[in-house]
Amino acid sequence: MADALFSRRLEARRRSDLRFCPAPGSSSAWLVEDPLASRYYELPAEEMFLLRQFDGRASSEEICRRFARAFAPRRIELRQLADFMRRAYGQGLLTSPGSRQGESLYLRAGHTRATRLKQTLLNPLAVRLPGVDPEPLLARLSPLCNFVWSRSFLLLVAVVLTAALYVVMLRAADLRAELLAATTQLSARTLWSVAVVTLAVKCVHELAHAVACRRLGGNCREIGVMLLVGMPCLYCDVTSVWMIPERWRRILVGAAGMLAEIVIAGAAVLLWYASGPGRFHDLCLQTAVVCSVATLLFNGNPLLRYDGYFILTDLLGTTNLGERADAELRRCVAKVFTGHDDDDLSARPKRAWAWAGYAFASLAYRLVLTFVIWWFLRGALARFGLSAAADLVLAVSLLGMTVGPVKRAGRFTTSGLRDGSIDSRRFTARGLAVVALLAAALLWPLPYRVAAPAVVRSDGGRNVFVATDGRLVAGKVLGDQVAAGDVVARLENLEMDRKLDEAAREVIELRKSAESLERRRIEDPSAGAALPATQAAIAAAEARLAKLNAEHSRLTITAPCSGVVLPLPQNLAKLAIGQDDWQANPGDTPLSPARRDRFLAAGTPLCTIGPVARREALLVVEQGDVEFVRNGAEVKLQFDAAGSKSWHGRVVELALLRPEDAPDEIVAVGLIEMQSEADGPPQPKPGMQLIRVSIDDAAERLPIGAVGQARISADSQSLAQRGLRFFAETFRIGKRREH
């Protein structure tokens, strides 16, 4: 019976609309194009030979005999031929004239749609919507872009990029400062601006791919919208580039989007340099960052299946780099655990360990990127109470990344143990060894440091503020020695003086009126009746006068402690004299002689009074890290104003953070988490710890108000402890919600 089946004619046929060409960078492999599904398959010479044999007339025996003659001394068994037929039929490369072919194709199409829907649902970070044929658009757009290929334009691009590189080197410090300020002072307007810039840039990016593909002999099959982390952007299908024989053309198509963004980044840097502070200036900086750093990290990264991946594929002279690397990683893992190795017809690549390493690095990078995106989304959505949505996206993304490998590993292991191809003792021993190594790695105690924002303060210093609106007429200057209660500044408010005089005259007149009524009440009973109302008016007028006198007395500002008049912290100085004036003269204060006779509103910072040479650092520690901080713990500090220099100190005091004690510098740049109050301004979240750190080094050179980061040495913790604590804090496990 088996011999009869072996010699029976096979009805399966190769599809007549398939296109074939030699695979890029290979002397024996072939590339097969499925024009209906817009899919490409790389087949080794052996599989390509087998595919050509399915003409509807040859039998299994005849195909095996032809294979033996063509690839002697190699032979193919009936099982291997059946596996190839099943795989080729599933990929749509073979068809059958049988009566149930239509039903089979219909079921396969339904399965394909279900698979695509499942892949979309399991990858919510990149949802690809159906597209349209871009040929009418490209037919009009391509002639308008012909100047891009001219030598004069390429020369202009070289000049722009060279000038932009020079500006970046020349203004590196300014760039770094503005980027730091932009990242620490994010606002809704900034996020919307970055989203719009990214959308516009990515549209140009994808259109550059499409135009380059059409120009260099390819065909853009589809263009549409993709929701990338919820943000709409274009995508274009230029997979037909694989049929272009010249490697440099394929690489140029793959790099066209990044080249367009680099040109935009160069122009944005020059416009940033030429423009003054303002919205356009910030927009240019955002464009430069999106088109350079973000593009190189994502599109240019070969570990993600974007432009860099396809460029690397061409440079290596292969196709299906990701699939082949994943297959090699699975082979390596299977061989380590089971001793089993696949014996399919595909040729094993040289340096198989490098392919497996690429697959592992790609998987690790995608995991890290997924968690980074989740962290960003959770922070952005937390203000709207939608942090659970970010958690759901993370869970679905991780499920999509693990469900496929876990199912394949389960099927492979189950079938191998059942048919005996896997050594159960080897599998158990290797599995237990891996579990033991993972447990050791997770439970091994590692050095742990608590990170916290820090600000430099004068040790024992106090900030002085204007209490009442007025014009500065006299005051101390920086460096003056004062004692507690000494006058620091005098203000003048003519309107308040006028109100004070009016209130004093009103009191005098009311008192005179009361005296007159008192004298006349014996003779005139109506005067006695009016006397209580007049006395009440006197009491109200005296209260107003006392209030005005108290307010007027606050025009004289006194020192709250003894010390030296010092400059304001950086953020308070900006608030006191204005952002533009502070940038022009960072050391300026409201007490500067040039600022005399200027109007100061109530609440304006005036100066700091404290010891001149003593500095300390104030840290704010999150509630979850409070338990790990001890008195006397070593602290390493770095401040933006001190460059790369590190400072060292020790914890000298821990106290619960009261709203009035929150360092203004840290609150202003959003380095601590705040919560809104219904009847007042936002306050620090409860449970935060305020920590004073004495700085061991000669820290008098540190400017007061400098903001930076501190790392506090704490008890060692294992990775498992950190992970469990992070998970519990993030998802509020074991904690009661506060009402």
Is residue 739 in a domain?
A: no
Distances (CA, A) of 691 to 341, 621, 626, 706: 59, 7, 10, 16
Q: Where are the alpha helices (DSSP H) in 444-584?
A: 494-520, 525-553, 570-577, 579-584
Q: Are 45 and 29 in contact (CB under 8 A)?
A: yes
Minimal CA–CA distance to 479: which of 583, 405, 371, 587? Answer: 587
Phi and psi dihedrals of 309, rounded to 5? -65, -45
CATH number at residue 6: 3.90.930
Give the tens place of pLDDT for each residue, 371-410.
Answer: 888 877 777 676 666 777 777 777 777 777 787 788 877 7
11, pLDDT greater than 70: yes
User: What pLDDT was estimated at residue 375?
Assistant: 79
Is residue 244 in a domain?
A: yes
User: What pLDDT was estimated at residue 738?
Assistant: 38
293 with 340, same domain?
no
User: At 238, is the pLDDT very low, low, confident or very high (cuts 50, 70, 90)?
Assistant: confident
Is residue 404 in a domain?
A: yes
User: What pLDDT was estimated at residue 385?
Assistant: 65
Q: What is the rounded CA–CA span in Å between residue 393 and residue 399?
A: 10
Average confidence score pLDDT of the chain: 78
In the three-class reduction of DSSP (H, G, I as helix; E, B as strand; rest coil), residue 276 is classed as coil
Which amino acid appears at position 27 of this protein?
S
Query: If you average pLDDT over residues 2-18, what whole number do you get?
Result: 70
Token code pair at residue 663 = 């360092």
Give the tens place of pLDDT for each residue, 500-522.
Answer: 898 888 888 888 888 887 777 77
* Among 321-325, 550-554, 639-643, the least confident range: 639-643
167 with 130, same domain?
yes
46, pLDDT greater than 80: yes
165 with 294, same domain?
yes
Number of domains in the chain: 5
Query: If you average pLDDT over residues 174-186, what whole number do you get?
Result: 73
Which amino acid appears at position 382 of this protein?
A
Is residue 608 in a domain?
A: no
Q: Is 552 exposed, middle or buried (0-12, 13-18, 19+ CB in 10 A)?
A: middle
Range among 30-34, 81-85, 293-297, 415-419 with highest mean pLDDT value: 81-85
For a pLDDT cut of 70, what percent of the chain falls above it? 80
Give the tens place of pLDDT for each residue, 408-443.
Answer: 777 777 877 777 767 778 778 888 888 898 888 888
Token code pair at residue 393 = 């996206």
26, pLDDT greater than 70: no
212 with 262, same domain?
yes
User: What pLDDT was estimated at residue 264?
Assistant: 93
Q: At what angle do helices 719-731 and 424-443 cross, to 10 degrees?
A: 70
Distances (CA, A) of 455 to 605, 625, 634, 709: 17, 18, 17, 8
Give the tens place of pLDDT for each residue, 689-717.
Answer: 778 888 876 555 666 667 788 888 888 88
What secondary structure letter does DSSP report for 520? H
Is residue 606 in a domain?
A: no
589 with 645, same domain?
no
725 with 646, same domain?
yes
Query: If you average pLDDT over residues 637-663, what whole number do you get?
Result: 71
User: What pLDDT was estimated at residue 729?
Assistant: 65
421 with 401, same domain?
yes
Q: Which domain holds residue 312?
A: 122-319
Token code pair at residue 176 = 């770094």
CATH number at residue 695: 2.40.30.170
Q: Are 306 and 299 in contact (CB under 8 A)?
A: yes
Give the tens place of pLDDT for each residue, 192-203.
Answer: 888 888 888 888
Q: Pick from 601, 633, 666: which residue ends a domain? A: 601
User: What pLDDT was estimated at residue 669?
Assistant: 46
What secondary structure letter does DSSP report for 522? T
Range among 203-212, 289-298, 660-669 with highest mean pLDDT value: 203-212
Query: If you average pLDDT over residues 636-654, what whole number do you get?
Result: 77
User: What pLDDT was estimated at residue 51?
Assistant: 86
User: At 335, is the pLDDT very low, low, confident or very high (cuts 50, 70, 90)?
Assistant: confident
User: What pLDDT was estimated at residue 460?
Assistant: 64
In the three-class reduction of DSSP (H, G, I as helix; E, B as strand; rest coil), residue 243 is classed as helix
User: What pLDDT was estimated at residue 262?
Assistant: 92
Do you know the residue count of the chain? 739
Is residue 609 in a domain?
A: no
591 with 665, same domain?
no
314 with 324, same domain?
no
User: At 642, is the pLDDT very low, low, confident or very high (cuts 50, 70, 90)?
Assistant: low
* Among 175-179, 431-435, 605-609, 732-736, the least confident range: 732-736
The pTM for the full model equals: 0.61
Q: What angle do CA 716, 719, 720 make, to 5 degrees?
A: 110
Q: Pick from 91, 117, 143: which residue ends a domain? A: 117
10 with 73, same domain?
yes
More confident residue, 207 or 685: 207
Is residue 738 in a domain?
A: no
| Tokens 């190839």 -> residue | 84
Give the tens place of pLDDT for each residue, 105-150.
Answer: 666 666 666 666 666 666 777 777 778 888 888 888 888 888 888 8
267, pLDDT greater than 90: yes
551, pLDDT greater than 80: yes
Give the tens place of pLDDT for each residue, 90-103.
Answer: 777 888 776 555 56
Query: If you average pLDDT over residues 341-349, what whole number do you get?
Result: 54
User: What pLDDT was estimated at residue 7?
Assistant: 63
152 with 218, same domain?
yes
Query: If you average pLDDT over residues 231-247, what whole number do you get?
Result: 80
What secondary structure letter does DSSP report for 349? P
131 with 233, same domain?
yes
167, pLDDT greater than 60: yes
Q: Pick from 282, 301, 319: which residue ends a domain? A: 319
Is residue 622 in a domain?
A: yes
| Tokens 């790392």 -> residue | 711
Minimal CA–CA distance to 239: which of 218, 260, 215, 257? Answer: 218
